[in-house]
Structure 1
Amino acid sequence: MSYDAIDDAFHFISDAPLGERRALVHRPSGKVFLASLKAGFDECPAGAESDPDYLSIPHRQELDPGKPLVLEFIRDNCPAELARVEGFFNRPGAFRNVKDLLRRRHLLDNWHIFEMEQMEALLKQWCLAQGLTS
Protein backbone atom coordinates (compact mmCIF):
# COMPACT_ATOMS: atom_id res chain seq x y z
CA MET A 1 0.00 0.00 0.00
CA SER A 2 1.45 3.35 -1.02
CA TYR A 3 1.42 5.98 1.71
CA ASP A 4 2.01 8.62 -0.98
CA ALA A 5 -1.26 7.72 -2.74
CA ILE A 6 -3.15 7.98 0.55
CA ASP A 7 -1.42 11.28 1.36
CA ASP A 8 -2.32 12.67 -2.08
CA ALA A 9 -5.96 11.63 -1.58
CA PHE A 10 -5.95 13.14 1.92
CA HIS A 11 -4.83 16.49 0.48
CA PHE A 12 -7.35 16.23 -2.37
CA ILE A 13 -10.15 15.83 0.19
CA SER A 14 -8.81 18.40 2.64
CA ASP A 15 -8.36 21.13 0.02
CA ALA A 16 -12.16 21.42 -0.14
CA PRO A 17 -14.84 21.93 2.52
CA LEU A 18 -15.70 18.84 4.57
CA GLY A 19 -18.09 16.61 2.61
CA GLU A 20 -17.46 18.14 -0.82
CA ARG A 21 -14.88 15.54 -1.86
CA ARG A 22 -14.21 11.96 -0.86
CA ALA A 23 -11.65 9.27 -1.43
CA LEU A 24 -11.79 5.55 -0.88
CA VAL A 25 -8.93 3.11 -0.71
CA HIS A 26 -9.47 -0.50 -1.79
CA ARG A 27 -7.69 -2.49 0.93
CA PRO A 28 -6.76 -5.57 -1.13
CA SER A 29 -5.30 -3.66 -4.10
CA GLY A 30 -4.29 -0.34 -2.50
CA LYS A 31 -6.00 1.54 -5.33
CA VAL A 32 -7.40 4.93 -4.37
CA PHE A 33 -10.65 6.26 -5.87
CA LEU A 34 -11.58 9.96 -5.83
CA ALA A 35 -14.87 11.81 -6.07
CA SER A 36 -15.84 15.48 -6.13
CA LEU A 37 -19.46 16.58 -5.88
CA LYS A 38 -18.69 20.10 -7.11
CA ALA A 39 -16.60 18.97 -10.10
CA GLY A 40 -19.12 16.27 -10.95
CA PHE A 41 -16.86 13.27 -11.11
CA ASP A 42 -16.86 10.04 -9.15
CA GLU A 43 -14.31 7.26 -9.69
CA CYS A 44 -15.65 5.23 -6.76
CA PRO A 45 -17.12 1.85 -7.70
CA ALA A 46 -20.85 1.36 -7.14
CA GLY A 47 -21.53 -0.10 -3.71
CA ALA A 48 -18.04 0.69 -2.42
CA GLU A 49 -19.38 2.71 0.53
CA SER A 50 -20.92 -0.41 2.07
CA ASP A 51 -18.14 -2.83 1.05
CA PRO A 52 -15.72 -3.57 3.95
CA ASP A 53 -12.86 -3.85 1.43
CA TYR A 54 -13.13 -0.07 0.88
CA LEU A 55 -12.12 2.47 3.47
CA SER A 56 -12.96 6.17 3.41
CA ILE A 57 -9.88 8.38 3.75
CA PRO A 58 -10.53 11.12 6.33
CA HIS A 59 -10.67 14.88 5.78
CA ARG A 60 -8.11 16.84 7.82
CA GLN A 61 -10.93 18.18 10.02
CA GLU A 62 -11.65 14.59 11.03
CA LEU A 63 -8.04 14.11 12.19
CA ASP A 64 -7.26 17.65 13.34
CA PRO A 65 -6.66 17.92 17.07
CA GLY A 66 -7.48 21.66 16.86
CA LYS A 67 -7.03 23.40 20.19
CA PRO A 68 -4.58 20.85 21.69
CA LEU A 69 -2.29 21.27 18.68
CA VAL A 70 -2.36 25.06 18.99
CA LEU A 71 -1.65 24.91 22.72
CA GLU A 72 1.28 22.54 22.19
CA PHE A 73 2.80 24.96 19.67
CA ILE A 74 2.26 27.95 21.97
CA ARG A 75 3.78 26.11 24.96
CA ASP A 76 6.87 25.32 22.90
CA ASN A 77 7.28 28.64 21.08
CA CYS A 78 5.81 31.47 23.16
CA PRO A 79 4.80 30.11 26.56
CA ALA A 80 4.22 33.60 27.96
CA GLU A 81 1.16 33.80 25.67
CA LEU A 82 -0.39 30.50 26.81
CA ALA A 83 -3.08 31.97 29.10
CA ARG A 84 -4.02 34.54 26.49
CA VAL A 85 -4.33 31.89 23.76
CA GLU A 86 -6.38 29.63 26.03
CA GLY A 87 -8.71 32.60 26.48
CA PHE A 88 -9.12 32.88 22.71
CA PHE A 89 -10.91 29.53 22.77
CA ASN A 90 -13.64 30.89 25.04
CA ARG A 91 -15.12 32.96 22.22
CA PRO A 92 -15.64 32.80 18.45
CA GLY A 93 -12.69 33.44 16.15
CA ALA A 94 -10.09 31.58 18.21
CA PHE A 95 -8.03 30.32 15.28
CA ARG A 96 -8.10 33.69 13.54
CA ASN A 97 -6.93 35.34 16.78
CA VAL A 98 -4.16 32.77 17.22
CA LYS A 99 -2.93 33.34 13.67
CA ASP A 100 -3.00 37.12 14.20
CA LEU A 101 -0.89 36.69 17.34
CA LEU A 102 1.54 34.37 15.56
CA ARG A 103 1.83 36.83 12.67
CA ARG A 104 2.69 39.64 15.11
CA ARG A 105 5.26 37.38 16.82
CA HIS A 106 6.74 36.36 13.43
CA LEU A 107 5.86 32.73 14.17
CA LEU A 108 3.23 32.09 11.51
CA ASP A 109 5.61 30.30 9.12
CA ASN A 110 6.84 28.13 12.01
CA TRP A 111 3.22 27.34 12.86
CA HIS A 112 2.48 26.24 9.30
CA ILE A 113 5.51 23.92 9.30
CA PHE A 114 4.58 22.50 12.71
CA GLU A 115 0.95 22.02 11.68
CA MET A 116 1.95 20.27 8.44
CA GLU A 117 4.34 17.92 10.28
CA GLN A 118 1.72 17.10 12.91
CA MET A 119 -0.97 16.42 10.30
CA GLU A 120 1.41 14.08 8.47
CA ALA A 121 2.11 12.24 11.73
CA LEU A 122 -1.64 11.97 12.43
CA LEU A 123 -2.32 10.61 8.94
CA LYS A 124 0.45 8.03 9.35
CA GLN A 125 -1.03 6.99 12.72
CA TRP A 126 -4.44 6.67 11.07
CA CYS A 127 -2.94 4.49 8.31
CA LEU A 128 -1.29 2.23 10.88
CA ALA A 129 -4.51 1.95 12.89
CA GLN A 130 -6.35 0.94 9.71
CA GLY A 131 -3.67 -1.59 8.74
CA LEU A 132 -2.86 0.30 5.55
CA THR A 133 0.89 0.79 6.03
CA SER A 134 3.56 -0.70 8.21
Structure 2
Amino acid sequence: MAYDTVDDAFHFVSDAPPGERSAVVRRTTGEVFLASFKAGYDERPDGFETNPDYRTIPHRQDLDPGKALVLEFIRSRCPAELTRVEALFARSGAFRNVKDLLRRQHLLESWQVFESQRIETLLRQWCEDQGLRR
Protein backbone atom coordinates (compact mmCIF):
# COMPACT_ATOMS: atom_id res chain seq x y z
CA MET A 1 0.00 0.00 0.00
CA ALA A 2 1.28 3.44 -0.84
CA TYR A 3 1.77 5.70 2.16
CA ASP A 4 0.72 8.66 -0.01
CA THR A 5 -2.81 7.23 -0.27
CA VAL A 6 -3.19 7.17 3.50
CA ASP A 7 -1.54 10.59 3.78
CA ASP A 8 -4.01 12.06 1.28
CA ALA A 9 -6.93 10.59 3.24
CA PHE A 10 -5.41 11.86 6.49
CA HIS A 11 -5.30 15.40 5.10
CA PHE A 12 -8.86 15.07 3.77
CA VAL A 13 -10.05 14.16 7.27
CA SER A 14 -7.83 16.68 9.08
CA ASP A 15 -8.63 19.67 6.86
CA ALA A 16 -12.06 19.84 8.51
CA PRO A 17 -13.14 19.97 12.15
CA PRO A 18 -13.11 16.57 13.91
CA GLY A 19 -16.17 14.51 13.02
CA GLU A 20 -17.04 16.45 9.86
CA ARG A 21 -15.15 14.13 7.51
CA SER A 22 -14.16 10.50 7.69
CA ALA A 23 -12.06 8.05 5.71
CA VAL A 24 -11.50 4.34 5.97
CA VAL A 25 -8.83 2.22 4.35
CA ARG A 26 -9.15 -1.44 3.45
CA ARG A 27 -6.02 -3.17 4.70
CA THR A 28 -5.89 -5.87 2.05
CA THR A 29 -6.21 -3.59 -0.97
CA GLY A 30 -5.21 -0.13 0.24
CA GLU A 31 -8.41 1.29 -1.19
CA VAL A 32 -9.67 4.40 0.63
CA PHE A 33 -13.31 5.37 1.07
CA LEU A 34 -14.25 8.94 1.97
CA ALA A 35 -17.20 10.58 3.68
CA SER A 36 -18.07 14.24 4.15
CA PHE A 37 -21.10 14.63 6.34
CA LYS A 38 -21.41 18.36 5.67
CA ALA A 39 -21.30 17.79 1.89
CA GLY A 40 -23.70 14.86 2.18
CA TYR A 41 -21.73 11.99 0.69
CA ASP A 42 -20.45 8.74 2.11
CA GLU A 43 -18.43 6.22 0.06
CA ARG A 44 -17.67 4.00 3.06
CA PRO A 45 -18.85 0.42 2.58
CA ASP A 46 -21.69 -0.98 4.64
CA GLY A 47 -20.46 -2.80 7.71
CA PHE A 48 -16.97 -1.28 7.69
CA GLU A 49 -17.28 -0.54 11.42
CA THR A 50 -17.38 -4.23 12.30
CA ASN A 51 -15.11 -5.55 9.54
CA PRO A 52 -11.54 -6.00 10.83
CA ASP A 53 -10.19 -5.41 7.31
CA TYR A 54 -11.10 -1.70 7.52
CA ARG A 55 -9.32 0.96 9.55
CA THR A 56 -10.61 4.47 10.16
CA ILE A 57 -8.03 7.08 9.22
CA PRO A 58 -7.28 9.26 12.25
CA HIS A 59 -7.82 13.00 12.42
CA ARG A 60 -4.69 15.04 13.04
CA GLN A 61 -5.92 15.79 16.57
CA ASP A 62 -5.86 12.05 17.24
CA LEU A 63 -2.12 11.94 16.48
CA ASP A 64 -0.99 15.42 17.49
CA PRO A 65 1.20 15.41 20.58
CA GLY A 66 0.29 19.09 21.07
CA LYS A 67 1.95 20.79 24.01
CA ALA A 68 4.62 18.10 24.40
CA LEU A 69 5.78 18.63 20.83
CA VAL A 70 5.89 22.40 21.25
CA LEU A 71 7.97 22.07 24.41
CA GLU A 72 10.34 19.64 22.71
CA PHE A 73 10.88 22.13 19.90
CA ILE A 74 11.39 25.05 22.30
CA ARG A 75 13.91 23.05 24.36
CA SER A 76 15.92 22.26 21.25
CA ARG A 77 15.71 25.60 19.40
CA CYS A 78 15.26 28.38 21.96
CA PRO A 79 15.59 26.98 25.49
CA ALA A 80 15.75 30.48 26.99
CA GLU A 81 12.03 30.84 26.11
CA LEU A 82 10.94 27.61 27.83
CA THR A 83 9.60 29.24 31.00
CA ARG A 84 7.67 31.81 28.97
CA VAL A 85 6.17 29.14 26.69
CA GLU A 86 5.17 26.96 29.64
CA ALA A 87 3.39 29.99 31.12
CA LEU A 88 1.56 30.56 27.83
CA PHE A 89 -0.01 27.10 28.16
CA ALA A 90 -1.65 28.18 31.41
CA ARG A 91 -3.86 30.62 29.46
CA SER A 92 -6.30 30.29 26.61
CA GLY A 93 -4.94 30.84 23.10
CA ALA A 94 -1.67 29.12 23.95
CA PHE A 95 -0.91 27.79 20.48
CA ARG A 96 -1.65 31.13 18.83
CA ASN A 97 0.58 32.90 21.35
CA VAL A 98 3.37 30.36 20.88
CA LYS A 99 3.22 30.88 17.12
CA ASP A 100 3.43 34.64 17.66
CA LEU A 101 6.51 34.11 19.80
CA LEU A 102 8.07 31.82 17.19
CA ARG A 103 7.34 34.40 14.49
CA ARG A 104 9.14 37.09 16.52
CA GLN A 105 12.07 34.71 17.03
CA HIS A 106 12.14 33.93 13.27
CA LEU A 107 11.49 30.28 14.07
CA LEU A 108 7.96 29.82 12.73
CA GLU A 109 9.06 28.15 9.50
CA SER A 110 11.41 25.83 11.41
CA TRP A 111 8.54 24.95 13.73
CA GLN A 112 6.25 24.16 10.81
CA VAL A 113 8.85 21.82 9.28
CA PHE A 114 9.50 20.17 12.65
CA GLU A 115 5.77 19.70 13.30
CA SER A 116 5.11 18.35 9.81
CA GLN A 117 7.93 15.83 10.08
CA ARG A 118 6.70 14.64 13.47
CA ILE A 119 3.12 14.23 12.25
CA GLU A 120 4.40 12.23 9.27
CA THR A 121 6.39 9.99 11.62
CA LEU A 122 3.32 9.47 13.81
CA LEU A 123 1.11 8.69 10.80
CA ARG A 124 3.66 6.19 9.45
CA GLN A 125 3.76 4.54 12.88
CA TRP A 126 -0.06 4.43 12.92
CA CYS A 127 0.02 2.70 9.51
CA GLU A 128 2.46 0.12 10.82
CA ASP A 129 0.42 -0.43 13.99
CA GLN A 130 -2.71 -1.00 11.86
CA GLY A 131 -0.98 -3.58 9.67
CA LEU A 132 -0.95 -1.30 6.63
CA ARG A 133 2.04 -2.21 4.53
CA ARG A 134 4.00 0.31 2.53
| Amino acid corresponding to residue 13 of structure 2 in structure 1 | I
CA deviation string 1:62-88 (max 9, x = no partner): 000000100011011111000110111
CA deviation profile, 1:99-123 (whole Å, cap 9, x unmatched): 0100111111111111111100000
The alignment's TM-score, normalised by the length of structure 1, stands at 0.96
Give the TM-score normalised by the residue count of structure 2: 0.96
- CA distance in 2 between counterparts of 1:18 and 1:73 reads 25
Higher relative contact order, structure no. (Cα contacts within 8 Å, ≥ 6 residues apart): 2
| Structure 1 gaps, min length 5 | none
Aligned mates of 1:30, 1:123 — CA distance in 2 = 15
> Within 2, Cα distance between the matches of 1:72 and 1:133?
30
Inter-partner Cα distance in structure 1 for 2:42 and 2:128: 27
Output the amino acid matched with 2:75. Answer: R
**Structure 2 partner of 1:94:** 94
User: Mind listing any 5+ residue stretches in structure 2 that lack a counterpart?
Assistant: none
Identity across matched positions, percent: 67
- Name 1:120's counterpart in structure 2: 120
3-state SS of 2:49 partner: helix
Aligned to 1:47: 47
Looking at structure 2, the residues matched to 88 and 123 of structure 1 have their Cα atoms a distance apart, in angstroms, of 28
CA distance in 2, matches of 1:81, 1:26: 45
1:57 counterpart letter in structure 2: I
Worse overlay, 23-32 or 60-69: 23-32
2:114 is the counterpart of 1:79 = no
47-56 or 79-88: bigger deviation: 47-56
1:34 aligns with 2:34: yes
Residues 1:60 and 2:39 aligned together: no
What is the root-mean-square deviation of aligned Cα atoms in Å?
Answer: 0.9
SS of the residue corresponding to residue 47 of structure 1 reads coil
Alignment of 1:103 onto 2:92: no
- 2:55 and 2:111 mapped to 1: Cα distance? 31
Aligned to 2:25: 25
How far apart in 2 are the matches of 1:132 and 1:75?
Answer: 34
CA distance in 2, matches of 1:8, 1:69: 23
State the 4+ residue runs in structure 1 displaced beyond 6 angstroms: none
